[in-house]
Amino acid sequence: MLLSCLQLTFVLLEQFVVSTFLVRPVSATMIPGRYLAHQEGLPKLPVPPLRQTCERYLAVLEPLVSEQELEHTRKLMAEFLTPGGAGERLQKGLERRAHKMENWLSDWWLQTAYLDFRMPVVVHSSPGVVLPRLEFSDRQGQIRFAAKLIAGVLDFKTMIDNETLPVEYLGGNSLCMNQYYQVLCSCRVPGPRRDSVVNHARAKRPPTFITVVHNYQFFVLEVYSSDGSLLTVDQIYMQLEKIWNSSLQTNKEPIGILTSQHRNTWAKAYANLIKDKTNKESVQAIQKSIFTVCLDAPVPRVSDEMYRSRAALQMLHGGGSRWNSGNRWFDKTLQFIIGEDGTCGLSYEHAPAEGPPIVSMVDHVVEYTKKTEMVRTPLVPLPMPQKLRFNITPEIKKDIEKAKQNMNIMVHDLDVRVIVFSHFGKNVPKSHKMSPDAFIQVALQLAYFRMYQRCCSTYESASLRMFRLGRTDTIRSASIDSLNFSRTMDDPSKPVAEKVALLEKAVKAHRAYTDMAIRGEAIDRHLLGLRLQAIEDLVSMPKVFMDTSYAVAMHYNLSTSQVPAKTDCVMCFGPVVPDGYGVCYNPMEEHINFAVSAFNSCSETNAARLAQGLEDALLDMRDLVEQMPRAKL
């Protein structure tokens, strides 16, 4: 019954999907300099006032730590803020940095959040995107769809190259478009202590090829003809078929699985790998390529109910060394993944970009694949795509075996539940004049509270793209108000009116924090900046960054992100702490797609239970608000 209900929702949605998600270029011809002119017009990220951040930090701690711990932190904070003290000095340093640089935060953030982070990018950093299952179930369908998808991405690329991509807006303000220029022709490269990202998009001769991987074998596929025009879908199809036919052997070494290792381990293996000239050239081709397409082998079928969860795992880690984990280059910024069974989605390396630009590209690509027909054009014979060769020494073979083992441990440890909450979407909160995102976040707080009888440090990413080169700050969704609501919601002695009032207050508090964050006035990046400034100035770390409260505040048991898309897809990612959850969602008008992750090795967490709790919380909150006459709200 439930299933047929779900299917109906999908059918209806399909009919509503008209070709309006195609991003149209703002001009038919190239507009040189438009991108830079736009960027220069954007405001610079401010450094918030010191006292404001410190006061807000203490308020954030209130629901998270004991009164005793809070009192201790208050004392440390007073010391930090003494006139002429550490706080003021570090703040001055930050302000000088902000004056000198285009963005005082973005380089630091790229380093600390991504390039210095040594855990594997798989599960711990790279998100995946799951698209609705496609209708094919054979090689021909897989290749045909892959050809259209490639053409769709290249169509988007032309708008980037021509600088005709429409500027995006948030609440009337234009946004920084830089991330779009960072995701193509780009790749992460492991280093012994710190990684780097190479980007060939603005090279003198930018790459004109993509890489395709099938049965663990990589190929270079030229996608521009000698006259500079793009290959047609038909031509791409033929080339993909050649690749497919010449990579039928399945006994190849899964060289790409090396990229799933701990970064220090991979850096060592990498240095060894590229000692060989052929290997080095092959690796460089992957790094330079515009993007990668993974043509995946079929995987065991699962029930329709579990389909999206399984697809999420395929996007996040490829299913293990027996399946498609070796059919990847996890350092590659953009990898589109297409299975023979109609599975489709992508995996992306997080360092160069956030989710929203990625899914807006996905929206365009999906729409493009729908409108594109395969027209048989008279075929000019094209050269065979070049296979990338690797010489596997015994040492490399050993590294691959180790990587396989570690990958399989990660695969066993990760639990992901993708659910379609089909009862309502943005429509219900909107009809009660509440922010849909705030409503969902408060529901998540309620679900967590019901499981653990407490709230936890919660991270929701907020966009700083109103500022030049802006990335993210943190919306802290656990507040005194959300906790007060969670405590009262299930108390039968409390009247409905009080519960509704507390819900409204919690939703408003979340909304206010969000507004503050996108204005560049949240606390997390500012506190990080003060800490990094202390390191840069070689002064001792202020005690306020070393107490229990700070550790609790930075331990995100809930790491969340709203990534709205027009396509009926969902982004997914792993938890950021061993005993936490990752929760990503795409709220559509009449349903919400959620991806919830947890680690099996933690006995306290359970993705399916939190997902169920979230459904219950959303339904209970709807019932609550519907008990009140609308006029009173």
Ligand X SMILES: *[C@@H]1O[C@H](CO)[C@@H](O)[C@H](O)[C@H]1NC(C)=O
Give contact residues for ligand X (rule: CB under 6 A): 25, 28-30, 158, 162, 164, 238, 241-242, 245, 452, 456, 480, 484, 488, 498, 502, 552, 555, 557, 579, 604-605
| Adjacent-strand bridge partners of 129 | 346, 571
**Smallest gap from residue 376 Cβ to ligand X (A):** 14
Residue 137 in marked binding region: no
Residue 431 in marked binding region: yes
Question: CA-CA distance, 324 to 564, in Å (whole number)?
Answer: 28
Check if the beta carbon of residue 290 is closer than 8 Å to that of residue 155. no
CA dihedral 59, 61, 62, 66 (to 10 degrees): -150
The count of other CB atoms within 10 Å of the CB of residue 405 is 10
**238, HSE (Cβ side, Cα atoms, 13 Å):** 17
**Smallest gap from residue 102 Cβ to ligand X (A):** 28
**Smallest gap from residue 433 Cβ to ligand X (A):** 21
End-to-end alpha-carbon separation of the chain, Å? 35
Residue 437 in marked binding region: yes
Catalytic residue flag (residue 423)? no
* Residue tagged active-site, from 124, 350, 510, 526: 350
**Smallest gap from residue 157 Cβ to ligand X (A):** 9
Question: CA-CA distance, 563 to 584, in Å (whole number)?
Answer: 7
Question: CA-CA distance, 372 to 152, in Å (whole number)?
Answer: 9
Residue 278 in marked binding region: no
**Smallest gap from residue 214 Cβ to ligand X (A):** 12
Nearer to ligand X, 392 or 552 (CB): 552
Check if the beta carbon of residue 489 is closer than 8 Å to that of residue 624. yes
Nearer to ligand X, 94 or 489 (CB): 489
**Smallest gap from residue 579 Cβ to ligand X (A):** 4
Check if the beta carbon of residue 579 is closer than 8 Å to that of residue 589. no
Check if the beta carbon of residue 222 is closer than 8 Å to that of residue 208. yes
Residue nearest to ligand X (CB): 29
Which DSSP symbol is given to 111? I
Strand, coil or helix: 264: helix
Nearer to ligand X, 47 or 159 (CB): 159
Residue 450 in marked binding region: no
- Measured CA distances, 327 to 55, 89, 280, 295, 623 (Å): 49, 51, 19, 8, 47
Which DSSP symbol is given to 29? S
Nearer to ligand X, 241 or 547 (CB): 241
Nearer to ligand X, 569 or 583 (CB): 583
Nearer to ligand X, 242 or 322 (CB): 242
Check if the beta carbon of residue 329 is closer than 8 Å to that of residue 211. yes
Binding residues for (R)-carnitine: 459, 461, 472
Q: Which segments are annotated as binding site?
A: 426, 430-437, 459, 461, 463, 472, 511, 562
Binding residues for CoA: 426, 430-437, 463, 511, 562
Active site residues: 350
